[in-house]
Structure 1
Amino acid sequence: MAKFLFIPIFFTLTLPLVVGQGFNMIKKSNVKIPNQLYTDIWGYERDNGQKFAVVGTRQLTLIYNVTDCGNPVQVFQHNDSFSSVWRDYKTYGNAIYATADQSPYTQGLQIINMDNYTVTNISTHFERAHNIFVDTAHARLYVAGSNTVSRGLIVYDISNPLTPVHLSNIQINLLVNAPNLNTYVHDVYVRNNIAYTSNGSIKKMYQLDVSNLNNVQVMATYNGAEGYNHSGWTTEDGVYVYEALEVPKGLPINIYRRSQTNQNMLEKIGDFKDPLESPISENNRPHNPFVHQDKLYISYYEDGVQVYDVSDGANPTRIAYFDTYPNNNGTGYGTNSTFNGCWGVYPFMSHGCILANDIENGFYTLELDLPDPNDNGNVSMSEDLVQDISGKGIVLRSPKGYCFQVGVDTSGNITLTRMVCESTSVVENYIYKSDISFANGKSIVAKNTNGNCYKMGLNTLNQVTGTSVTCPQPTTPSFRINNSNLIIDTYTKGIVLYNTFLSNCVRLTVRDDGTFIATNLTGCP
């Protein structure tokens, strides 16, 4: 939860209200239909510039006009009379394709005409399927995990989007000469006529050459994933593959590439995760990854939407998140058998509107709000800021969005302690896109667990120091942090102190490892 900082200090700009659910990402809207649990989401754009979201619930398919990202307008609703935990959507031309994967669903491939919203069903080749993928470059629709063809792949020609033509069935167990092997395809991604299959509980991933559907070849295999291979996506150059491991909880996103020594094998070169509940719990669970340009977007169940910079594909760096499921913030994650939070994310809209579905909390529209180097926001403090209760204080964000609380230990050393950024049980104060600066010898006065106070300062090397002072009395002119933290929510902003030894102002920010960064400023705020 969040509240505006109402204390008598001199603002150099008007500060917006910040809700502590995001980092470098803001909510534009949230729509929730009562008594509905949400499933997957997709989007599309028409030639006239109108933009739409395809939103699934267990009972409904909904279409919203999201041309105005902050004001979704529902234009269509369809109830096929079935309830399914799993629904999937893709688009091509003027067609929306939909599938569901829960008995007794029998409608196969559902096609919604974008022009008039008529609905048709094709169940000739399957009745249920788990996922679908459209290879737009080759006008092909791939159906994954159907109730036929050993739950392999079914491929359609969608050159005429409203009338798909069956092209081929692909059974990986037959391709690898292991007819009794369970090669269920949970999901598939296709790029440049290469299909990347996520094969669920058998802990395998295959690369298939599908340029000739009459002679599909296994190009490479990865064996031995740590958990359930749920879904994957490649970088735009096709070099790296990011694979989400859904079960058990706590597994990272794996990074693969074609082996440099054996082109028939994929090799794991790394993994990563950044749980929002760390350091309380590390057991977050990824769901679906998507790459758009140089960014990786992941629907991350209880951790909402997470965004990574993958301009260096081997070293993803988190740059933003929005927590669509704040229900249990500050208390860790649910059990291995619970699936709550963000199901899907769609990051491909040309106007930057990001679509997301949260199982319990509904349909979100979001936007990235990355720091601008020209932001010069500043909150100027004319008195000391007293951290009056040990355990509460100034909190700095690191570049990955980690939160570190400024404090003081029993020896008088100024410390940075990792903490969970958001909590459902605590009301926090936030400063957004602004430094908090001190002049005329004023600074932060922190109280330790022994009840002793130390004033933050800088030495001749710009290192942070603590000087013992008498704890200010309530009647002493000062500003106080009592029952909540004050979070500086933009990682490029921090605490600005005047270094009396060097006669200049210094901005203190924090690295991801929890150490201070001291940056000399050309002038003082």
Structure 2
Amino acid sequence: MKFNLNKILSTFILCIFILISFQYCSNEPVDNIDDSSGALFECENGFAGIYPCNGYDLMAQIPLSTFNANSGNDSWGWTDPVNGREYALMGLDNGTAFIDITTPEELVYLGKLPTQTTSNDWRDIKVHNNYAYIVADNAGNHGMQIFNLTRLRNITNPPEIFTADMVYTDVGSCHNVVINENEDIAYLVGCNLYNGGVVFVDISNPLNPVSAGGYGGSGYTHDAQVVTYNGPDTEHNGKKLFIGSNGNYLGSNTVVIIDVTDKSNPQLISDVSYPNPGYAHQGWFTDDMSHFIFGDELDEQFFGNNTATFVFDFTDLDAPVLSSTYHGPTLAIDHNGYVKGNTFYLANYAAGLRVLDISNIEASSNAMTEIGFFDTYPEHNNASYDGVWSIYPFFESGNIIISDINRGLFVVKKSDL
């Protein structure tokens, strides 16, 4: 029998890596590497464990195997208003996982709400008044699952298999769900109704959701943000505005601004395009509502450019304009991005979480500057659908959720917090 020394060494190294990954990616509490910070791995010399980083520590990680899932997708967060505990809600191919992340070094996987129909690659979650609203794309008649998050306070034998408190069945498949915290409406987009535009659902009684109409006059909406407007264009103050990322593989790609104050009579205010569109994906207002930061999901693949993020000047909602374009340091595809203060947090697929300073957002060049990152997919930074799907940066503690397609849930935190 011949022995292949290279093969033996490679197998040995792989086994060591798996053992290390299992120890630090399990759902069981582990001894902290640094007792003073609470971090599982501090970001030191450009790495937190095996993960490239700049200014962000790895607090905790749970692999997909713990969730009995094959892939991850969207994520959102919930803070219990009674006790302040923080929870991650992570979408999976076959359901939604609920994790108590209040003490990241002692994560508790509380349970899973299985998919309503079949497994699928797209699931989206938002929270309103202590309920989670969950939709799925390409999953048959999935509808919208509604889950009472206060149930998570009383889990005694985790992880549990949950059932939904209610399923809204007036829609089948939807790509996304959007919530404006100032009104009791769920905005469902990319559904099988209204040309894939937006479906309005009254959720003032979460256990008895009621159809409130919809709008399909601007075509398919992939994602959106809805706000009660209070920005520089005073003509529109107080209105409920729907900012839709309307992607079309075979046609135009635009960002649309729609007045949805009157659900029975939505009105298009304006739309705006941008150069070299691939597929309009998602965007988010700055806190003062003067600018809208937006990403196209396919331009990196179609045109070979580095990550492109577009900044629109929205000071005049009737005539929005592209004011600047940021190009990242890698070829990776941009996905979901969110604003908190003067910081933009971008889920950048294979390049991980990228953190950008937007305090110079009004400038026509250098409007955004990268100030940190955490790369959950160290294999490469190519334009592929690997790595980070989404992030949630809104917890008061500074904990940031990262949902990774390949490796599950990460919790990271700024190194100096």
**In 2, Cα distance between equivalents of 1:158 and 1:311:** 36
1:64 aligned onto 2:114: no
Q: Distance in 2 between matches of 1:50 and 1:289?
A: 24
Matched, 1:271 2:325: yes
Given the alignment of the two structures, is residue 168 of structure 1 paired with residue 213 of structure 2, yes or no? Answer: yes
Q: Distance in 2 between matches of 1:17 and 1:288?
A: 24
Aligned counterpart, 1:196? 243
Q: Partner letter of residue 208 of structure 1?
A: I
Distance 1:254 1:226 in 2: 11
Q: 1:144 aligns with which of 189, 203, 206?
A: 189
Q: Which residue of 280, 283, 287 corresponds with 2:331?
A: 283
In structure 1, what residue type is equivalent to 2:319? M
Maintained 8 Å contact 1:42/1:55: yes
Match of 2:377 in 1: 325
The 3 A distance-change label for structure 1 pair 124 and 339 is same
What does residue range 438-453 of structure 1 map to in structure 2 within 5 Å? Answer: none
**8 Å CA contact retained: 2:190, 2:196:** yes
Identify the residue that residue 240 of structure 1 maps to in structure 2.
291
- Could you tell me which of 59, 64, 74 is aligned with 1:40? 74
Question: How much does 1:118 deviate?
Answer: 4.2
Residue 350 of structure 1: how far off its partner (Å): 1.3
| Structure 2 residue 77 is the aligned partner of structure 1 residue 28 | no
3-state SS of paired residue (1:233): strand
Q: What is the letter of the counterpart of residue 243 of structure 2?
A: Y
Rounded to whole Å, the distance in 2 between the matches of 1:89 and 1:253 is: 24
Aligned residues of 1:95 and 1:162 also touching (Cα < 8 A)? no
Q: Please report how far the alpha carbon of residue 225 of structure 1 lies from its aligned counterpart in structure 2 after TM superposition.
A: 4.3
Tell me whether 1:361 sits opposite 2:407 in the alignment: yes
Tell me if the contact between 1:126 and 1:146 (Cα under 8 Å) persists in the aligned partners: yes
Match of 1:5 in 2: none
Q: Distance in 2 between matches of 1:351 and 1:27?
A: 15
Residue segments in structure 1 that go unaligned for 5+ positions in a row: 1-15, 174-182, 276-281, 373-525
* TM-score computed with the length of structure 2 as normaliser: 0.76
In structure 2, C-alpha distance between the alignment counterparts of 1:151 and 1:225, rounded to whole Å: 24
Give 1:194 shift: 1.1
- Tell me which protein shows more strand as a share of its residues: 1
TM-score of the aligned structures, taking structure 1 as reference length:
0.61
Report how far residue 369 of structure 1 moved.
1.9
Q: Tell me whether 1:76 sits opposite 2:73 in the alignment.
A: no
Note if contact 1:252-1:286 (Cα within 8 Å) is conserved in structure 2.
yes
* 1:253 counterpart = 2:309: yes
8 Å CA contact 1:241, 1:256 repeated in 2: yes
The whole-number CA distance in structure 1 between the counterparts of 2:400 and 2:413 is 6
- My pick for the range that moved more, 221-230 or 348-357, is 221-230
Q: Does the C-alpha gap of structure 1 residues 124 and 118 become closer, same or farther in structure 2, counting only changes over 3 Å? A: closer
User: In the alignment, which residue of structure 2 is the partner of 1:295?
Assistant: 343
Contact 2:114 2:163 in 1 (8 A): no
Q: Distance in 1 between the 2:134 and 2:399 partners?
A: 22
SS at match of 2:104: coil
* Residue in 2 that maps onto 1:106: 141
Moved over 4 A (4+): none
Q: In the alignment, is the contact (CA less than 8 A) between 2:333 and 2:349 conserved in 1? A: yes
* Bigger proportion of residues as helix: 2
RMSD: 2.0
Larger-Rg structure: 1
1:108–1:121 CA contact under 8 A, matched in 2: no
Instruction: Quote the Cα distance in structure 1 between the aligned partners of 2:88 and 2:245.
Output: 26
Matched, 1:91 2:120: no
Whether 1:206 aligns to 2:256 is yes
Question: 5+ residue gaps in structure 2?
Answer: 1-41, 152-161, 229-239
Check conservation: 1:41, 1:88, Cα contact below 8 A.
Answer: yes
Identity %: 25
How many residues in Structure 1 have an aligned counterpart in Structure 2? 333
Distance in 2, matches of 1:304 and 1:172, equals 35
